[in-house]
Amino acid sequence: MAEREIIQLGNQVLWEKSREIEDCSARLCQSLVQDLSETLQAFRQRTGYGRGIAAPQINSLHRVIFIRMQPTGFCGALINPRISWASDQSMELWDDCFSFPELMVLVRRSFSVSVDYKDERGLSRSINAEGALSELLQHEIDHLDGVLAIDRAVGPHSLMTRAEWERQRAARPFFEHA
CATH at 118: 3.90.45.10
Domain containing residue 61: 12-177
In a domain? residue 2: no
pLDDT band (50, 70, 90) for residue 173: low
pLDDT band (50, 70, 90) for residue 174: low
In a domain? residue 3: no
Q: What is the pLDDT of residue 71?
A: 67
In a domain? residue 110: yes
Separation CA 53–CA 39 (nearest Å) = 8
In a domain? residue 4: no
In a domain? residue 62: yes
> How many angstroms separate the most distant Cα atoms in the chain?
47
In total, how many domains does the chain have?
1
pLDDT band (50, 70, 90) for residue 167: confident
Out of 140, 164, 166, 176, which one is annotated catalytic?
140
Active site includes 5? no
DSSP annotation of 66 reads: E
Q: Looking at residues 66-79, what average pLDDT do you find?
A: 87
* pTM for this entry: 0.92
169 vs 31, more confident: 31
